[in-house]
Amino acid sequence: MEETKPIQNEEGERPPSTDDNPQQEAQLKHPSTDEPVASTETNTEIEQQQTINYKLETEDMEVHHHSHASHSKKNWKSYFWEFLMLFLAVFCGFLAEYQLEHTIEDQRERKYIVSLLKDLELDVESLNEALSARKNHIRYFDSLLYLLKNYDDSHLNDIYYYSRFAGRNTTFKYHDRTIEQLKGSGSVRLIKNSLAADSITIYDNEVIKGVLNQQEFELQVRFNIISNYGSLFNAFEWNEMLDSNTTILRKLHNPDLFNKDQKLINNFAVQIITLKTAYRITNVQLRDAIKSAEALSAFLKKEYHLK
């Protein structure tokens, strides 16, 4: 049996023995690693954190499980409340839309009333002008009839002058812009005040239409008079009675009549009387129309709180 020789390195030296170094022997028994050794306190914290995370995951799973369970089945009360909330939402939306439409219509109604009041002011102004003109013409016709009845060559210039006005007239002009807009657009329904709507209708269909119809009759009478002018009056003298502004001028001399036939003079006098009577009837209607327009204007201002 061969004798065991101690191991030597290349230099012939024997490696150090662990018996000679107790500390080295201890290190060999407990080899070191690159990772630090966790303390007992750190391990405890990790375990506590893991326990907390597990509990949270468990609770989350339970909540998730219960939420699914709550939707799995609904009773009639749940359906009723859902239907009620949906119904209330739709109903409130309808009320809001209705209120908005109602507000818009109120604004449009007020706008039409304001416009109508302006038309009424213009109507009253035109009615007064027509009334004033007819009063003057009636006085001219009274003077003309007196001169024709008491014929005198020294007043022929006055006969020419007053006769000239038989072909003239100041007509009433109806300002129906707003009323026609209400009719044409079908917006009469916007006038929710029944008394206001009735008053406007009466003013338009009865009062004003009566004046306009009477003016049409006056026009026919004047046309008959104008067509007979040439039977009595000298056309050239007649032509010189107007200036550049078509104002009627009184002759400085007394031009002769073209025809002094009493029958023609009488016929002309009848036509003047007819026109004068028509003017008187029209004046009655004009006065009534003025009162109606003013009353309607005051009523609308009161009802709609306008100045």
User: What tens digit of pLDDT does each residue of 57-69 get?
Assistant: 555 555 444 444 4
Is residue 59 within a helix (H) or strand (E), and if so which, with residue range?
Answer: helix 40-71
Distance, in Å, from the CA atom of 19 to the CA atom of 24, rounded to the nearest integer, reads 9
Is residue 160 within a helix (H) or strand (E), and if so which, with residue range?
Answer: helix 156-164
Share of the chain above pLDDT 90, in %: 53
Six token digits for residue 18: 């662990």
What are the CA-CA distances from residue 273 to residues 131, 222, 251, 262 (Å)?
18, 11, 24, 16
**Angle, vertex CA 92, rays to CA 91 and CA 93, nearest 5:** 90
Average pLDDT over residues 198-225: 94
From its phi and psi, is residue 4 left (phi > 0), alpha (psi between -120 and 50) or beta? Answer: beta
Given a cut of 50, whether residue 213 has pLDDT beyond it is yes
Buried b / exposed e over 65-75, threshold 16 CB at 10 Å, is eeeeeeeeeee
Q: Which of 218, 207, 178, 215 is nearest to 290 (CA)?
A: 207
Q: What are phi and psi of 254, to 5 degrees?
A: -110, 95
Q: Is the overall model pTM greater than 0.85, yes or no?
A: no
Dump pLDDT digits (tens) for 54-113: 555 555 555 444 444 455 567 777 777 777 778 777 777 766 666 655 555 667 788 888
Dump pLDDT digits (tens) for 249-295: 999 999 999 999 999 999 999 999 999 999 999 999 999 999 999 99
Q: pLDDT band for position 190 (50/70/90)?
A: confident
